[in-house]
Structure 1
Amino acid sequence: MRRLRDLWLGAHRWFALSLGWVLGLMGLTGALLVIAPPLDEQLHPQLFKVVTHDASGIADHRATLPLEAIRSRLGAEFGKKAGLSFLPPREADDSLSVLVRGGAWKGTVYIDPLSGAELGRRGENEGIVNFLFKLHSSLFMDDVGRSVLAVIALCYLLLLVTGLILWWPRAGQSGWRIELRKGLVRSLFDLHRVAGATLGVLIAISVATGVYMAWQPLRGFVTTLSGDKPMRAPALPLASRGAAGARLPLDTLVDAARAEFPQSRVYLVQVPAKADLPVHVRLHVPDDPHPNGRTLVWVDPVTGKVLAAQRWNKLDIGARAVAVVYPLHTGVLGGPVLEGVVMVNGVTLAGMAVTGLWLWWRRRAMRSARRVSRVAAGDGRNVR
């Protein structure tokens, strides 16, 4: 039995020392991402908010500018190779965000939707939120980083299982006792094992949901396993590909998409750089648990015809699950309470990585000191 326990302990330490620091980093960045976006908006209101009242408090009743006017201006600046994704304001005083991808510059441009004036811009890695998100979701390695994180998430499950086996109380012992009066090493050891046993499963949910969102092949696997067919974006008709210069105004295309789901709110309007792709509009319908919506519409930019429209609860099961997985991972699904749980999970995971590493180093140093002491004592006896 002792040999088996040593085997579990060795496996737990090996996984923790080799990959635990990455898990801790993911936990810490995930916790920070809960509070970073609202804090960023508070610190940089000039990017996210617009003035909707004059000095006397009279409301500005001007209509928002057409998206087509903004698209034309940004298209002329960034060129034909750049794809543009528009995030319309949710509130009356919100700015319009435009994500620029595929050209010489990648980032976000913030625009006053009433006047069309540019409020500022950020590169894709500029700003604390962008930095944390890129680090948390892909380690700054895009698809390769997401695959690496998926493998590391599997290792967390092995850490959880081996940790629970090592924690499991033996006869006459309590697995929940935290002794704070027997030195720092004992205190951290008890905190490490009790925190892992208490929150390990909740942390596993956060890890698993994060991998599900970040790693696309997993969604496809779930869909295939269920016997369903993965969702595919429709192809643009050949006639429209040859008439790419005769595009309809972007606002007309958005209206066509919204007509499919009249009670929806527009979250994203994606204008691809490639002329052979349709305009993609992402909508939020009232019963969608995803805060950004997962109802998808593709529109022919030349004819204005809707090529495909899929409500969030009619998507293939792998894609449909994202509507619940994303708000569960971020905590939005449960409001401030669940967001608090997500933060605690992240901080705990980071704390377990730090305490585990410190405990391993400290005990190794103590064993080395004892060996040196025994050798010195033996030398002394030999001298006498």
Structure 2
Amino acid sequence: MWRWHFYAGLIVLPVLAIMAVTGALYLYKPEIERIVYRDRIVLPPGGAMLAPSRLVAAVERAAGAPVTQIVRPPSDGESWRLRVRSDGGRATTWFVDPHDGRILGRMEGGGVMDLVRDIHSLALTGPVGNRLVEVVAGWAILLCVTGLYLRWPRRGQPALALRGRASGRLFWRDLHGTLGFLSAAVILFLAVTGMPWTEVWGGGLQRLVAANNMGRPKLAELPWTEPAKQALPWSLREGGALPGGVGGIGVDEAMRTAAARGVTGGYTLVLPAAPGLPYLVATTVVRAQDARALMIDAGSGAVVQDMDWRMFGRGAQAVEWGIATHQGQEYGEANRLLMLAGCLCLLLLCLTAPVLWWKRRRNGRLAEPPAATPAAKRVVAALMLLVGLLFPLTGLSMVAALLGEWGVGRMRA
């Protein structure tokens, strides 16, 4: 256990530290955006609203490109965000005052918090980063389980303790072990609930949920753009919507239809990207139960699909609940503070681990822990086999680590 806990830490420590910092920041996305973009977001309350089509026209004149999405905030004290995608595929978000149509500013893409999210998910490195996140999450699960095993109270060894002085190894071992024991459940939860965002494991889960009728209602396949998919709840991203007529209604009628169906809070309206595609209305999800999506025929204005939480299967509901809780939203401020504590403890574990490693060097040299007893090896083998089967990319990295250890042993021999 000790040996593989040590190896897992070495492999994923830097990435876990980055994910802990960016995850803590993303928990406070609304507050950070209101600080960074205050002059573009915050509005004085009150006043009549202009027709959404007038906001679209103002942005399209300024941008010289068509609007693809409209984000209506849940509060009247915030500006609306209209998304434009140029011919080169670059997305720009425009902030507009819905009371008088003034353009308050713009930002490239999703701004600073999209950058934080991309660093957190390693999306900046493309498909390789997404797969690395999956590997790291699997190793984080292994770290939690082996750490709990190592720290579990036995033979007079307390699980929670802080002994010795800061200059000694015992102090750092107790600090690392106590922090890990207290936060293991939260870190384990964050690792597992982060998996649905990955391409290999998350994509496989999405297909498994759909194949067993545990996901969203059955829909016809349509070529949704990636930004449109991102506006949807997780369980609605596999597939598309029913095709409809071409032309006809505009954004004003689409939003009136949404309001008539009771969608009045924050939501995203995705405009048809091609003839035959409907308008898509996706609610801004805070709690998992808020998930809802409307498909409105662009030709007739009829609602061809109205899907909400109650129509999701048990699998989709479980994943949506996990995502909302992972983001600190499902149970209010207490939920967010608990996830923040998990991120901070994870960061402290990443900082104390190398200190503890340095403190335990022998004869001035860094070294791995000694090999385990045969009984402990059997436990570790079973544990690794289970984690490796559940998370195949992590399993492949375990095989690589085993081959590396075998190779080093042969070289030494």
Q: Do Structure 1 and Structure 2 share a fold, with TM-score over 0.5?
A: yes
1:95 Cα deviation (Å)?
A: 0.7
Number of residue pairs the alignment of both structures matches:
343
| Aligned match for 2:141, one of 150, 157, 161 | 157
In the alignment, the residues of structure 2 paired with residue 275 and residue 357 of structure 1 have an alpha-carbon distance, to the nearest angstrom, of 57
Normalised by the length of structure 2, the TM-score is: 0.74
Q: Which residue of 2 aligns with 1:119?
A: 104
1:200 Cα deviation (Å)?
A: 0.5
> Which whole-Å deviations, capped at 9, do the CAs of 1:181-221 have from their partners, x for residues lacking one?
26253322211111111210111112222222555415414
Task: Decide whether aligned partners of structure 1 residues 207 and 102 sit closer, same or farther in structure 2, where only a CA change above 3 A counts.
Answer: farther
| Aligned match for 1:310, one of 275, 291, 307 | 307
1:346 maps to 2:343: yes
| Aligned match for 1:325, one of 322, 325, 334 | 322
Residues 1-384 of structure 1 correspond to what in structure 2 (within 5 A)? 8-52=1-45, 61=47, 63-75=48-60, 84-101=68-85, 103-104=87-88, 105-124=90-109, 126-127=111-112, 129-141=113-125, 144-181=128-165, 183-213=167-197, 216-221=202-207, 223-224=209-210, 226-228=212-214, 231=217, 232=219, 233-237=240-244, 240=245, 243=246, 246-259=247-260, 261-262=261-262, 264-283=264-283, 289-290=287-288, 293-364=290-361, 367-368=364-365
5+ unaligned residues in a row in structure 1: which ranges? Answer: 1-7, 53-59, 371-384
**Structure 2 counterpart of 1:156, which letter?**
A
In the alignment, the residues of structure 1 paired with residue 34 and residue 302 of structure 2 have an alpha-carbon distance, to the nearest angstrom, of 37
1:310 Cα deviation (Å)?
A: 0.8
1:86 Cα deviation (Å)?
A: 1.3
**Structure 1 counterpart of 2:34, which letter?**
E
**Structure 2 counterpart of 1:85, which letter?**
Q
1:369 Cα deviation (Å)?
A: 9.2
1:142 Cα deviation (Å)?
A: 5.1
In the alignment, the residues of structure 2 paired with residue 318 and residue 275 of structure 1 have an alpha-carbon distance, to the nearest angstrom, of 33
In the alignment, the residues of structure 2 paired with residue 31 and residue 73 of structure 1 have an alpha-carbon distance, to the nearest angstrom, of 36
CA contact (8 A) 1:269 1:280 kept: yes
CA RMSD of aligned residues (A): 2.9
CA contact (8 A) 1:280 1:297 kept: yes
In the alignment, the residues of structure 2 paired with residue 283 and residue 203 of structure 1 have an alpha-carbon distance, to the nearest angstrom, of 29
1:39 Cα deviation (Å)?
A: 3.4
Identity of aligned residues (%): 23
5+ unaligned residues in a row in structure 2: which ranges? Answer: 220-239, 368-413
In the alignment, the residues of structure 2 paired with residue 209 and residue 355 of structure 1 have an alpha-carbon distance, to the nearest angstrom, of 25
Normalised by the length of structure 1, the TM-score is: 0.79
Indicate the structure (1 or 2) with the bigger Cα radius of gyration.
1
**Structure 2 counterpart of 1:234, which letter?**
A
In the alignment, the residues of structure 1 paired with residue 298 and residue 62 of structure 2 have an alpha-carbon distance, to the nearest angstrom, of 21
CA contact (8 A) 2:215 2:315 kept: no
1:50 Cα deviation (Å)?
A: 1.8
